[in-house]
Amino acid sequence: MRAQDGDAAAFSCLVERHWIPLVHFARSVVGDAEAEDCAQDGLVIAWSKLAALREPGAFRAWLLRTVARLAFRRARRSARYVSITEAADTQDPASAVGPETVDVEAVLSVLAPRQRAVMHLTVIESMSDSDISAALGIAAASVRSHRRRAREMLRRVLQPGSVPGVKK
Amino acid sequence: MSPNDSRDPEDRFLEAWKHWAQRPPRQSPAEAAAAVSRRLPLRQQRRSWWALAAAAAMTVTVALAVHWSIFVRRAAPPRPTINLQESAPMSKGEVLIWLDDETPLYMTFQPPENGPAPGNKS
């Protein structure tokens, strides 16, 4: 890969190719406001570590992992993740799913960053468990576990009246 | 999503998530590539300082190694040399080896057919 030899123009081509899916992914993990900054920072980090990439064919998964690590750090720092109890006290995620509009960010706030990442790659990117495992650097069993917990959490949050303290 | 939407709330949410996440970014891919490219030289420059420092250290090391090896070679005593070609013809069982121009090594050997060596009882 020419970009690995320090060819910035070749790297720019890679940025153009991967920009949109990276922003989509970052949006699900860190939210809309920070998504593009996160993706851009991840790409700059990727450039600096590109020489360490052993298999150029695995670039997509490697890039996703680089951005995911950064996104997890940002998500933890900005504490977008709130427990379901906190969510129930401070907002009503279920009410975010109205007949006309859905406040996706409000609902996602009850999921842990890794759960958001796994769900995004499953639902939106339609990736297999092994691909998600490679992209996030976690075991396939962990992928399934994160997804199961995320779905349980979403079901709890999205069912009207199922969460104690959630006002309807 | 219409009020008559009878799908599961989870399915409706996942659908809404898909639409929300897949909205186009504010920056186009070309703009993003340009923005990322503008940030790359800063890291490269920082890295080039490291490369320069590493190259300087390597140069000093190589220079010291070369200087040391030359110095040691000059200071080391000359190795003994064996000059068989200049040895005078010797009789059977005698060898003369010149270790250097001034040091001959003269050796004699007892041929085996002259009987057992002294001290050999067999």
Secondary structure class of B16 (helix, strand, coil): helix
Contact A20, A36 (CB under 8 A): no
Span B25-34, pLDDT tens digits: 999 999 999 9
pTM: 0.64
Q: Do B20 and A36 touch (CB under 8 A)?
A: no
Name residues 44-63 of chain B within 8 A of A (Cβ): 44, 47
The number of residues in chain B equals 122
Looking up tokens 């279920």 gives A94
Output the six-digit token pair for B8: 């599961």
| Amino acid B17: pLDDT | 93
Q: Does B38 touch chain A (CB under 8 A)?
A: no
> What's the pLDDT score for residue A122?
96
Best probe of the B interface among A7, A23, A29, by most B CBs < 10 A, is: A23
Q: What ipTM did this prediction achieve?
A: 0.80
Closest CA of chain A from B50, distance in Å: 13
Q: Smallest Cα–Cα separation from A65: which of A158, A127, A155, A150?
A: A127
Distances (CA, A) of A9 to A37, A113, B49: 21, 33, 22
Q: Does the beta carbon of A12 lie under 8 angstroms from any beta carbon of chain B?
A: yes
DSSP-derived secondary structure letter, B107: E
Average pLDDT of the residues in A112-118: 95
Compute the half-sphere exposure of residue B37: CA atoms within 13 Å on the CB side of its CA.
Answer: 17
Integer Cα distance of B86 and B105 in angstroms: 13
Mean pLDDT of chain A: 83
Contact between A124 and B21 using a beta-carbon 8 Å cutoff: yes
Find the mean pLDDT for residues A32-61.
89
The pLDDT of residue B89 is above 70: no
Stretch A120-128: mean pLDDT: 95
| C-beta atoms of A24 and B21 within 8 A | yes
Cα–Cα distance between A79 and B75 in angstroms, integer?
A: 70
Which residues of chain A does B41 touch, with a Cβ-Cβ cutoff of 8 Å? 8
Which of A101, A82, A122 has its CA nearest to residue B20?
A101
Contacts of residue B50 in chain A, CB cutoff 8 Å?
Answer: none
Residue A163 has pLDDT above 50, yes or no: no
* B25 contact A CB<8A: yes
Which chain B residue is nearest to residue A93, measuring alpha carbons?
B13
DSSP strand pairing (B103-108 vs B94-100):
antiparallel
Tell me if A140 sits within 8 A of B46, measured CB to CB: no
Supply the DSSP symbol for A165.
Answer: T
Look at residues A147, A152, A86 and name the one whose alpha carbon lies nearest to residue A120: A147
Enter the tokens of residue A155: 């079901």
Contact A104, B18 (CB under 8 A): no
How many CB atoms neighbour CB B122 within 10 A?
Answer: 3
Nearest in space to B104 (alpha carbons), one of B76, B79, B84:
B84
Q: Cβ of B34 under 8 Å from any chain A Cβ?
A: yes
Distance CA A127, CA A135 (A): 10
With CA atoms as reference, report the closest residue to A3 among A52, A40, A37, A36. A52
pLDDT of residue B93: 77
